[in-house]
Structure 1
Amino acid sequence: MNKVLLGWALAAWAFSAPLSQANTDQSSTVTSVPHHLLEKSRGDTGAIQLDERGLHLNYPEERRQVDSLQWPWRAIGQVNVAASHYCSGVLIAPGKVLTVAHCLWDAYRKDWYKPKDIHFVAAYSQGNYLAYSRIHSFMAAGRFNATGQIDLETVHTDWAILDLQQDIGDKIGYLPLSEKRRIASGAEVTLAGYRRDRPEVLTAQEGCKILAWNRSGASFDHNCEIIQGDSGGPILQRHKGYWQVLGIQSLEAKMEDKRWGVAVAARALPFAKP
């Protein structure tokens, strides 16, 4: 049997109980560790090797910088956590941001980060932004093991909804979750996020494709180029002239010489409609 290796694109619960009632799952298979934890444990300084253009040496040509002030990019931003790491996130309602749960999980303390330590910066670009808000609470789901890891069996639960202190989506707009139950495999999609190799600007890849649907459509595989920082970044599709969120990036899977992204599908959040 071929072994599938997983990695998180930085820094990991169907509908869950409130956080105070949530329990971690100690029996999950160990398959991945958040990249920001790996870097600390290895003493990595996090230095990135750039070429003469200021891009990562392996930066994909398919990925381009987009204007954060324009639609739909302005509804995407950085979720900053405890001044230690960030992930990507997207406004899905005036005061709600969708991101990945693993970004909010402190694997050292084996507990969630506190809401006071989390804030969202919309349309961030090189120190500038359109809107900013701290959060007063969040709802997360997932089945973590003792070290805060997640696998292909639980990736569909790697989501979190942040409740913002300010309804900044009223000012800059927000992107609705897809109303479609499932998009055909092979359909073209767009992934946007704040990659670790270009953390100061929002980049996107258009024209990548859905490869397959998993767990009755609760997650899906795609071939967009991903790297640390993309976690929580929305996978978008334009439908009838309007942009909608099909899901959010969670994991990267590898098998032999193949690699692909795994996303949490919007249908995994049936209660999270604006």
Structure 2
Amino acid sequence: MSWRALILGGAMLAYAGSALAQGTGLRRLTDRDDLFGWEAVGRLELNGQGYCTGTLIAPELVLTAAHCVYGKDDKLRPAEQIRFRAGLRDGVAVADRQALQIAAHPGYDPRRRLNMENIRHDVALIRLAEPILSSQANAFALHSGEEYGSGISVTSYGKGRDEALSRQRQCNLMGEHRDVLMIDCNVTFGSSGAPVFSQVGGRGRILSLVSGGGSFRGKQVAFGMKLPQRVAELKAQLRRNPAAAPDRRIKRIRVGGGASAGGAKFVSVGD
């Protein structure tokens, strides 16, 4: 079966939520010691309209999926409607920050289904109103090169496990085509934007982000994209359109905080 048939075949890629949620190998990061080293992965609160997973790649930059930052009207959400709660665990976050600026990759079209082209560009950067110190959450670096190491893993929030991070230490790369990766990681609604890590040398590096999911040859899979070029383009976009930090004398109204799983979260390919 060709990749084009795989991506565009709506029946083949109809999302099966229960199947994706039934995989094994997930471990809840319940205790503070469990969370140590993973605090930079957090939950993106979307103004009570759902949530996604995001990851710090710099003290003030959060990486997530582009479809997470669009509303139901296919327009970018106002930055004030997004909050990043780093290392959220049972209602307590290591750090809680308001979004200041959003850059979604221009190659992603929110009006179209998640076909191959949209998966490849389903990347967004969020600049935070205030940085998160490395002593609170140490940002992750991006993977570079063709060698993915001995293990691929995913760390995410998701429906039924949205109060704490869950980590799958081992999943497999099932295929790769034109910068789109197919991985058998256990993901579900809310896992959109979750980091897929490669293990090369020491600390894991972000290889991809969860974009959507479906089935291939009887297995439930997640789709993601290669990141370095996309992220570089998004950083340039943020530099071209700088946003002023809010006046610290003005008390900002806290928005979001809802843990509803009813908004833009995990969008499956072919829906």
TM-score by length of 1: 0.73
User: Following superposition of structure 1 onto structure 2, how do residues 59-208 of structure 1 map, counting pairs within 5 Å?
Assistant: 59-67=22-30, 69=32, 70-107=35-72, 109-141=73-105, 142-144=107-109, 146=111, 149-170=113-134, 171-178=136-143, 180-183=144-147, 187-208=150-171
Aligned to 1:249: 210
Alpha-carbon distance between aligned partners in 1 of 2:205 and 2:127, rounded to the nearest angstrom: 20
**How much has 1:243 moved relative to structure 2?**
2.1
Q: Is the partner of 1:4 in helix, strand or coil? A: helix
**How much has 1:163 moved relative to structure 2?**
0.2
- Are the equivalent residues in 2 in contact too, given 1:99–1:161 (CA < 8 A)? yes
Aligned to 1:219: 180
Q: Is the partner of 1:120 in helix, strand or coil? A: strand
**How much has 1:211 moved relative to structure 2?**
2.0
Alpha-carbon distance between aligned partners in 2 of 1:172 and 1:237, rounded to the nearest angstrom: 19
Write the deviation string for residues 228-259 of structure 1: whole angstroms up to 9, x where unpaired. 11111101123221221111111112246332
- The answer for unaligned runs of 5 or more in structure 2 is 236-271
Aligned residue identity for 1:210: L
Note closer, same or farther for the CA distance 1:116–1:58 as it changes in structure 2 (3 Å cut).
closer
Write the deviation string for residues 155-177 of structure 1: whole angstroms up to 9, x where unpaired. 01001000001111433211111
**How much has 1:120 moved relative to structure 2?**
0.3
- Are the equivalent residues in 1 in contact too, given 2:97–2:129 (CA < 8 A)? yes
Alpha-carbon distance between aligned partners in 1 of 2:227 and 2:206, rounded to the nearest angstrom: 7
User: Following superposition of structure 1 onto structure 2, how do residues 222-241 of structure 1 map, counting pairs within 5 Å?
Assistant: 222-241=183-202
Alpha-carbon distance between aligned partners in 2 of 1:156 and 1:5, rounded to the nearest angstrom: 12
Aligned residue identity for 2:141: P
Aligned residue identity for 1:182: E
Q: Is the partner of 1:89 in helix, strand or coil? A: strand
Write the deviation string for residues 92-117 of structure 1: whole angstroms up to 9, x where unpaired. 0010000001011113x221111110
Aligned residue identity for 1:84: Q
In terms of fraction of residues, the more strand-rich structure is 1
Alpha-carbon distance between aligned partners in 1 of 2:31 and 2:6, rounded to the nearest angstrom: 35
- After superposition, the CA RMSD in angstroms is 3.2
- The answer for unaligned runs of 5 or more in structure 1 is 8-28, 36-47, 50-55
Alpha-carbon distance between aligned partners in 1 of 2:231 and 2:70, rounded to the nearest angstrom: 23
Q: Is the partner of 2:193 in helix, strand or coil? A: coil
Stretch deviating more after TM superposition (92-101 or 259-268): 259-268
- Are the equivalent residues in 2 in contact too, given 1:208–1:224 (CA < 8 A)? yes
Q: Is the partner of 2:68 in helix, strand or coil? A: helix
Alpha-carbon distance between aligned partners in 2 of 1:101 and 1:33, rounded to the nearest angstrom: 21
Alpha-carbon distance between aligned partners in 2 of 1:58 and 1:88, rounded to the nearest angstrom: 16
Alpha-carbon distance between aligned partners in 2 of 1:158 and 1:74, rounded to the nearest angstrom: 23
TM-score by length of 2: 0.74
Note closer, same or farther for the CA distance 1:57–1:5 as it changes in structure 2 (3 Å cut).
closer
Alpha-carbon distance between aligned partners in 2 of 1:145 and 1:135, rounded to the nearest angstrom: 20
Aligned residue identity for 1:196: K
- Are the equivalent residues in 1 in contact too, given 2:47–2:81 (CA < 8 A)? yes
- Are the equivalent residues in 2 in contact too, given 1:187–1:210 (CA < 8 A)? no
Note closer, same or farther for the CA distance 1:191–1:68 as it changes in structure 2 (3 Å cut).
farther
Aligned to 1:14: none
Alpha-carbon distance between aligned partners in 1 of 2:174 and 2:15, rounded to the nearest angstrom: 24
Alpha-carbon distance between aligned partners in 2 of 1:270 and 1:182, rounded to the nearest angstrom: 17
Moved runs in structure 1, 4+ residues, more than 4 A?
Answer: 31-35
Q: Is the partner of 1:74 in helix, strand or coil? A: coil
Higher normalized contact order (CA 8 Å, seq sep 6+, divided by chain length): 2
